[in-house]
Structure 1
């Protein structure tokens, strides 16, 4: 008894947590209940019940089947169900008329042949990618309605009234669902897709910073157990890897939605899929970086890691800054005036890291383990006794640096995809005043940095 009570209490706690964290889902449940309550009036009230020919239950079934979380999904199912029912009903009535004119002997044969041919053709259409993506549910409803009306018409005299009542009840159910979905706390698929892409960019940026800090941060490495927050940051990229199906579904439903918010009808939703694909390509590299930096058994010499840390950290910071700026651009639907400068800084960081890799001369890599130098300054300075490291020791570090360079290249492609989205969606351009302010702030930062450098040089001379 206690075990059952604990399970029930745990279930209630999880349900309460979902309702608190995602109130939109709780509101969707209330909207479905409201739609069912309204459509049930056609069953409880005699005038309304007689008005739909006693087929009010079809309206209830329609509400249950058509109600979806987003407006786009509800519109998609409603239009598919109404269109499939109308076409199937019209064809069934036409085929029934032809069959009755052919005589009693040929009537069942014509009905059977029509059911076989049209059902087979509609089923085959569901394998066509373009139809499956947007009209799969409509094709299924077409098969169901045509079969029911055709088979029922052989025994029912008033076939036209049967088809009319079924179409009327479905129209009532879909209308109620669409109105409630759009007017009562609407959840737009386009907005959900927009926010999903933005959040994935921010998570990728955090994961990249976390992976580099995990690899080059000795204070973090010394801890055998990572904190829960640090682990979440490192694993955040998996949300991007697992979001492909969700992105495609939301993009498909968003095309059904009317203009809302900052999105016009015909908004380039396919461009979001291109941005999502670019983000996943970055996420694959970050996954490899996370695996190579944490799971590597070979220990890299400290002087090598110290020498390359500043270049790698600068490159990861530049790539992370570009991703964050792109996320801001998508969130505000404005073209960033700083993105070109930030991409150029990322390219410079890549060039510096590549130059640092080239500074490792062949004489510094030995086939057998030998004693390493004591100073970082031995690298690339042409000292008499350069530091010598084994190939096995340097491979993990080269792997990490190569992955960071590849991440920068894929981040640049992501920036190009976002620029394509901004052009087609006609993102607003940031005002000139904001641009001037950002430039003046950057100039002040550079001048302050130069003054600090001069002060440090003076202190060193003293």
Structure 2
């Protein structure tokens, strides 16, 4: 009887522990804190993050399918140069250049396709024209001068084009065009034995390349277009959301005194650090795109690069802030009231979180954020509170380890506020340059 009673008691205690663990898991997935608007915000970070990740992956998969179908349609259209006898009689075997053009220049976004197509067109026309001119001059001189002129022209133009490829501003936008220029010039100049054949070859190849270019651009722009400008715009907005969620998650762990380091929450910040090359490519492609939707020809895309740089700096500081918030809970409660440290950090994080949300919504909706009148005053209040807290830390008779922990926390929070203020100014300038509408 005693063993049976003891066994039932163990089972009962196990169920109680299991229920407590379940309640703890539910509490961890829920987070609420008061904002300065007087309302409580309740949100479940794990389901939201999972939903956004799955939604983004689904959208990317859909875009990949659309791009694949568009490439297939474009190749079918240029294959008509071979399949239809009237068209084949006009271009002959040079129809393969149209197919090669589609395969080479059809990129994922319309801007990338248009930029690569224009580069190929400019390189082909300039290289073919200069190659024909060199072949004509060599043909006119004749004799021993023929190979000398061809060799000298190949050396001069190839060396000059290669040097221009190394210039950063030219390499960024016209590198592919320089490669096509070198290739076309050498093919036309070296193979130009007779002027008549050179001109006829250049004409047919240029015609087929032009046809391939027209097919690519038409399909890319008019059939479910995928714009680089839209991708850049949406990715920038998503980074504001990721950073605000990361700061919100750090604050949750800090307020609830969780001991585990929030690695999952800060993973998004670490991914933001590797977005520089992607931003530069998208800005380059966006500059090639025609007017569409809310983006015009003179849209200030360079501002997105500056905003991206500040976001990456903010992400790096946020990673350090997440670890510092964990260690700052060990501040000596007897020398300096932990309540003042906790409340100051909490209010600072709440203000930063809210400001990042406002800035992200400003870019997303393309409305002016009103940084000077709406956002800056709240950030200045946070800065004053952090300065006062730093003074209390130095004069509070704290141990050295506590001074370092609290001082590091206040310093990082101040750095975050500085970067958020810089972001607000950049977005305010973007709103003026891009003519964002007012609320």
Q: For the structure 1 residues 232 and 340, does the alpha-carbon distance in structure 2 shift closer, same or farther, using more than 3 Å as the test? A: farther
User: Which residue of structure 2 lines up, in the alignment, with residue 400 of structure 1?
Assistant: 409
The correspondence of residues 112-127 of structure 1 with structure 2, limited to 5 A, is 112-127=151-166
CA separation of 1:399 and 1:26: change in aligned 2, threshold 3 A: same
- The Cα of 1:215 is off from its aligned counterpart by 3.6
Select 1:326's aligned residue among 359, 363, 368: 359
1:342: Cα distance to partner? Answer: 2.9
Q: What's the counterpart of residue 250 of structure 1?
A: 282
SS in 2 for 1:33: helix
Matches within 5 A, 1:351-366: 351-360=384-393, 362=395, 364-365=396-397
Q: For residue 373 of structure 1, what is the aligned residue in structure 2? A: none
* Helix, strand or coil at the partner of 1:158: helix
**Which range moves more in the overlay, 264-273 or 280-289?**
280-289
Residue 23 (structure 1) aligns with: 62
**Aligned partner of 2:103 among 45, 48, 64:** 64
CA shift in 2, pair 1:298/1:314, >3 Å:
closer
C-alpha contact 2:130 2:185 (8 A) present in aligned 1: yes
Matches within 5 A, 1:133-172: 133-154=172-193, 158-172=197-211
**Matched-pair contact (CA < 8 Å) for 2:328–2:406:** no
After the TM superposition, which of the residue ranges 87-96 and 332-341 deviates more from structure 2? 332-341
In the alignment, the residues of structure 1 paired with residue 134 and residue 57 of structure 2 have an alpha-carbon distance, to the nearest angstrom, of 51
The offset of 1:18, in angstroms, is 5.7
Q: Which runs of 5+ in 1 are unaligned?
A: 1-16, 366-388, 431-462
User: Is 1:200–1:239's contact at 8 Å kept on the other side of the alignment?
Assistant: no
- Residue in 2 that maps onto 1:287: 319
* TM superposition shift of 1:291: 3.9
Q: What are the superposed Cα offsets for residues 226-273 of structure 1, whole Å, 9 maximum, x if unpaired?
A: 7xxx64432211232111111111111111111111111111111111
CA deviation string 1:153-191 (max 9, x = no partner): 137851101011111111011110100000111111111
- d(CA) in 2 for partners of 1:20, 1:91: 46
Residues 205 and 323 in structure 1, CA contact (< 8 A), matched pair in contact too: yes
Inter-partner Cα distance in structure 1 for 2:372 and 2:352: 11
SS class of match (2:393)? coil
Deviation of 1:302 (Å): 4.9
Q: Which runs of 5+ in 2 are unaligned?
A: 1-55
Query: Structure 1 residues 150 and 208, CA, compared in 2 at 3 Å: closer, same or farther?
Result: same
- After TM superposition, give the deviation of residue 317 of structure 1 in Å: 1.0
Matched, 1:85 2:124: yes
Question: 1:315 — aligned with what?
Answer: 348
> Are 1:335 and 2:356 an aligned pair?
no
Q: Structure 1 residues 270 and 297 mapped into 2: Cα distance closer, same or farther (>3 Å)?
A: closer
Distance 2:374 2:57 in 1: 42
Structure 2 distance, partners of 1:420, 1:110, is: 55
Q: 1:305 to 1:244 in 2, by over 3 A?
A: farther
Give per-residue Cα distances to partners, 1:275-330, cap 9 Å, x unaligned: 11121221121122234345x59943356543311111111111111111011111
Count of aligned pairs between the two proteins: 382
For 1:151 and 1:276, how far apart are their aligned partners in 2? 47
**Match status 1:235 vs 2:267:** yes
Distance 1:164 1:302, change over 3 A: farther
The corresponding residue for 1:385 is none
Deviation at 1:420, TM superposition (A): 0.6
Pairing 1:105–2:114 present: no
Residues 1:412 and 2:421 aligned together: yes
State the partner residue of 2:15: none
Change (3 A) 1:109 1:414: same
Residue 214 (structure 1) shift: 2.8
Asked whether the 8 Å contact 1:84–1:139 carries over to 2, the reply is yes
2:110 and 2:226 in contact (8 A); partners too: yes
1:337 shift after superposition: 4.4
1:276 corresponds to which residue? 308
**Is the contact made by 2:98 and 2:209 (CA closer than 8 Å) also made in structure 1?**
yes
Cα distance between partner residues in 2 of 1:206 and 1:305:
25
